[in-house]
Amino acid sequence: MNYRIRPAKTGDEEALYALAQLTGGGFTNLPADLEALRAKIDRSNLAFSDAEEIVSDHVYVLVLEHTESGQIVGTAQIFAKVGTKQPFYSYRLSKLTKVSPELNQRITTQMLSLTTDLEGCSEVGGLFLHPDHRTGGLGLLLARCRYLFIRLHRARFADRFLAELRGVIDEKGQAPFWNGLGNKFFGMSFQEADQLNSLKGNHFISDLMPDYPIYTALLPESAQAVIGQPHMSGRPAMRMLQKEGFQAGDYIDIFDGGPTMIAATDQIRSIANAREAVLEGSSIEKEGQLSIIATGHLKNFRASYGTIRKNIENNKQVKINQEAIDNLQLTSGDKFIHIPR
C-alpha cells in the first residue's frame, strides 16, 4: 500500500485547503481558509522542532501522503494541551430532580452548564480523509497513527485525552443545536459562529453566553434530539474511538452539541498495546501480520501499513515487507513500534 503518514510541512497548505473545502462545514480544526491553514502548519512546525519534552500547548499536524504521486489525501491532528492561551469551553450535562409531596410528583430535568472542566487535557482531532480514498483502511491508519506518535513522545502529552466529534448538521449546513440555543444569544448563523471559532477561537463565547445552567426541556425538540449525537459521517470515527477505549461522557460541544469522548492516555488501546521492535530485514509481502508501523522522532516521524514477520528466537527482531521499509525510510537495525491492524 503506497501510503504513509508524515508531519505536515510548509507547502502543504494548498492540499489541506483542498481537503477543507470537502468537509461540509462544522470542522473547526480544518478551516477552509488558506491563511489559517498556513498559520496552523507554522505552529505545527514549531511543535515538531521543539526539543523540550514537556506538556505544552503544541499542535501536531500529520498528513496522509500517496508516496508515488505525492498527493495528500488526508490529515489528522494532536493537541498536546487544550485551554492554555484561551478557555476551552464545553457544555456539561447534569440532572436535577425535584419532588413535590403535595402533587405526588417527581420530575428529573437535564441541564447544560458552560464549563472549562476539560482544560489541561490533550486532544485528538482534525481527522479528515478525502472521499475518494475511504477504502483499504486508510481512515484507521490516520486515526491510530496518532496514538503511536503519542507512545513515541509520551512526555509531551497529558494523562487524559479527549476527542470532540462533529455534531448533527443538516444538508443546508444548519446545526439544530446551535439554532435552538447559541443563535438566541449571538444572533449569528452556525456557519458564521463556526468560522469565527475556527479563525479567532471561542473566547467570544464567554462574552455573550449565559453563565447559569440551561434546562434542555426549554430548547426546541429539534435541538434536544441531537444533544450528544455525532454527525452521520462521524459515526465510524466514534466506533474507532470506542474500540480504543474512549467513552462518551457528560460533555458536549458548545456549537453543534456533538459528543466529547474521553480516555486515560495510558489505557488507550493502541498506546498500551504497541510493541517495540528492531528491523532485521525485508520479507515477502504476504508473509506475516498486517500491522501499523511507526518510527522516527518528531519531524522524522513516519507511519505506514506493513506486514511483520517475527524472528522465532527473538520477537523483537522482525522482518517487514520492502514497500513498508521504503515508505518508512528504514534500514536494518532501526527501531520502531507496531500494532496489529
Q: How far apart are CA 3 and CA 202, in angstroms?
A: 35
Domain map (residue ranges) of the chain:
1-80+121-158, 85-119+159-265, 274-340
Instruction: Give the pLDDT score at 145.
Output: 98
The predicted-structure confidence for 112-143, as pLDDT tens digits, reads as follows: 999 999 999 999 999 999 999 998 899 999 99
**CA-based R_g, the chain, Å:** 22
Instruction: Give the start-end residues of each E strand in the chain.
Output: 3-7, 59-66, 72-79, 90-100, 105-115, 122-129, 160-164, 214-215, 247-252, 259-264, 275-283, 289-295, 302-310, 317-321, 335-340
Instruction: Give the pLDDT score at 26.
Output: 64
The answer to whether residue 286 scores a pLDDT higher than 80 is no
> Regarding predicted confidence, which is higher, 316 or 91?
91
Question: Of all residues in the chain, what percent carry a pLDDT higher than 90?
Answer: 77
Question: Of all residues in the chain, what percent carry a pLDDT higher than 70?
Answer: 99
Torsion of CA 73, 78, 82, 84, to 10 degrees: -100
Single-letter amino acid code for the residue at 132: D
- Name the pLDDT band for 197 (thresholds 50, 70, 90): confident
Active site residue 231: yes
Q: How far apart are CA 198 and CA 250, in angstroms?
A: 24
What average pLDDT does this structure show over 273-278?
Answer: 96
The answer to whether residue 310 scores a pLDDT higher than 80 is yes
The answer to whether residue 45 scores a pLDDT higher than 90 is yes
Which parts of the chain fold into alpha helices (H)? 13-20, 34-49, 138-152, 176-180, 182-186, 190-200, 204-208, 221-224, 235-244, 269-273, 322-328
Instruction: Give the pLDDT score at 313.
Output: 66
CA-based nearest residue to 128, from 80, 40, 63, 214: 63
What average pLDDT does this structure show over 72-84?
Answer: 97
CA-based nearest residue to 318, from 300, 340, 304, 336: 336
The answer to whether residue 202 scores a pLDDT higher than 80 is no
| Category of 254 on φ-ψ map: left (φ > 0), alpha (ψ -120 to 50) or beta | alpha
Candidates 3.20.20.150, 3.40.50.170, 3.40.630.30, 3.40.50.12780; CATH matching 1-80+121-158: 3.40.630.30
What average pLDDT does this structure show over 67-83?
Answer: 96
Single-letter amino acid code for the residue at 252: I
Non-local CB neighbours of 247 within 8 Å, separated by 6+ positions: 261, 262, 263
What average pLDDT does this structure show over 205-223?
Answer: 89
Burial of 231 (0-12, 13-18, 19+ CB in 10 A): buried
The answer to whether residue 242 scores a pLDDT higher than 80 is yes
Q: How far apart are CA 211 and CA 22, in angstroms?
A: 35
Single-letter amino acid code for the residue at 193: A
Average pLDDT, the chain: 93
Instruction: Give the pLDDT score at 195.
Output: 79
> Regarding predicted confidence, which is higher, 148 or 316?
148
Mean pLDDT is lowest, of 46-50, 161-165, 228-232, 310-314, for 310-314
Output the nine-digit C-alpha cell for 90.
464545553
Contact 147, 274 (CB under 8 A): yes
- Name the pLDDT band for 144 (thresholds 50, 70, 90): very high
Instruction: Give the pLDDT score at 238.
Output: 93
275-283 and 259-264 as β-strands: parallel, antiparallel, unpaired?
unpaired
Candidates 1.10.10.10, 3.30.420.40, 3.90.79.10, 2.40.40.20; CATH matching 274-340: 2.40.40.20
- Name the pLDDT band for 285 (thresholds 50, 70, 90): low
Output the nine-digit C-alpha cell for 298.
518528531
CA-based nearest residue to 184, from 208, 202, 215, 213: 208
Instruction: Give the pLDDT score at 173.
Output: 84
Instruction: Give the pLDDT score at 210.
Output: 82
Catalytic residue among 58, 231, 297, 338: 231
- Name the pLDDT band for 25 (thresholds 50, 70, 90): low
The predicted-structure confidence for 148-196, as pLDDT tens digits, reads as follows: 999 999 999 999 999 999 999 988 889 999 999 999 988 888 888 877 8
Q: How far apart are CA 33 and CA 102, in angstroms?
A: 59
What average pLDDT does this structure show over 303-309?
Answer: 96
Which parts of 88-189 fold into alpha helices (H)? 138-152, 176-180, 182-186
Q: How far apart are CA 50 and CA 57, in angstroms?
A: 12
